[in-house]
């Protein structure tokens, strides 16, 4: 039986044989496992003309981003949840990862879940992999852009029913140890380069929101990537969960006439 190719780094070749582009599946984390192949990524960024992330990372934290990230109708999480339940949730999360969700009381619950997840993993590096690559591209004087705008990504989050977002946040508070173990398992899968296993794990994790968070976004992001590739060599870095599956970016790129070629994946030692 042919051994399944494991890699999260792909060269994208056009039918006309013109300049190639590159696609990297990232993990939005600061742990060392995300960085072990960083020199290879940087070398490919230097070869490309454009660096594309999921969104323009320089707009994260901007007033425009914050405006779209808030609960509707000036609501607050502390106002939605019963006081005792909110206090318990806040205390559990503070003890587990040092984050005080009270500072983000008006933010969408799904963003709080992501914030907690980010802080449950080790912070071996000062920046996440996506941020490091973005900043490196800027230092190399590359054009940087997002496949989605901040507004478009926020609209995606608002499509997920608020009650489902609150349910997921409360589940996190009750099973934070389990969530931490699952995140570490995801990191191990990432280090192995098994993009299909990452997709399956992410699909299970997001449950009924998979069409909103994965499939629909994959279609839009591939369309935008193809636009960028028309006249440029592009290094594209997106969350690894977007690569695999029948509706994944790799399959959509193939349907559009792009030939993804797997590049060497060097698993971390030790």
DSSP structure string for 169-208: HHHHHHSHHHHHHHHHHHHHHHHHT-HHHHHHHHHHHHGG
Which pLDDT score, from 0 to 100, does residue 155 have?
87
Q: What is the pLDDT of residues 230-252, one digit of tens each?
A: 999 999 999 999 999 999 999 99
Q: Does pLDDT of 220 surpass 90?
A: yes
43 within some domain: yes
pTM more than 0.85: yes
269 within some domain: no
CA-CA distance, 171 to 169, in Å (whole number)? Answer: 5
164 within some domain: yes
Q: Which region among 27-31, 62-66, 185-189, 232-236 has the lowest average model confidence (pLDDT)?
A: 62-66
CA-CA distance, 195 to 235, in Å (whole number)? Answer: 18
Which pLDDT score, from 0 to 100, does residue 150 have?
86
More reliable by pLDDT, 78 or 69: 78
184 within some domain: yes
181 within some domain: yes
Which pLDDT score, from 0 to 100, does residue 1 have?
29
1 within some domain: no
3 within some domain: no
Write out the residue range of the structural domain in which residue 138 sits: 9-262
The two structure tokens encoding residue 195: 């993009």
Q: Does pLDDT of 17 surpass 80?
A: no
Beta-carbon contacts of 225 under 8 Å, excluding residues fewer than 6 positions away, are 21, 23, 52, 147, 234, 236, 249, 253
Q: How many domains does the chain have?
A: 1
- pLDDT (mean) for 105-110: 95
| Contact indicator for 233, 3 with CB cutoff of 8 Å | no
267 within some domain: no
C-alpha radius of gyration, the chain, whole number: 19
């Amino acid at each position: 039986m042919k051994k399944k190719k494991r890699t999260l780094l792909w060269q994208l070749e056009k039918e006309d044989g013109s300049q190639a582009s590159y696609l990297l599946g990232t993990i939005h984390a600061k742990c060392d496992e995300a960085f072990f192949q960083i020199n290879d990524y940087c070398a490919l960024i230097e070869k490309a003309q454009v660096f594309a992330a999921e969104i323009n990372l320089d707009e994260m934290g901007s007033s425009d981003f914050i405006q779209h990230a808030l609960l509707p109708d000036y609501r607050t999480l502390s106002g939605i949840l019963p006081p005792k339940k909110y206090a318990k949730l806040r205390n559990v999360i503070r003890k587990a990862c040092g984050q005080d969700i009270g500072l983000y009381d008006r933010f969408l619950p799904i963003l709080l879940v992501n914030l907690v997840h980010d802080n449950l993993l080790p912070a071996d590096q000062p920046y996440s992999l996506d941020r490091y690559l973005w900043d490196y591209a800027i230092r190399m004087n590359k054009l940087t852009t997002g496949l989605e705008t901040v507004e478009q990504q926020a609209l995606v989050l608002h499509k997920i029913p608020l009650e489902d977002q609150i349910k997921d946040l409360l589940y996190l508070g009750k099973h934070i140890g389990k969530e931490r173990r699952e995140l570490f398992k995801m990191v191990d899968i990432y280090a192995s380069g098994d993009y299909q296993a990452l997709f399956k794990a992410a699909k299970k994790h997001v449950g009924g929101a998979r069409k909103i968070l994965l499939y629909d976004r994959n279609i839009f992001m591939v369309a935008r990537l193809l636009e960028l590739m028309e006249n440029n060599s592009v290094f594209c870095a997106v969350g690894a969960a977007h690569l695999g599956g029948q509706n994944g970016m790799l399959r959509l790129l193939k349907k559009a006439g792009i030939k993804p070629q797997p590049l060497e994946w060097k698993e971390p030692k030790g």
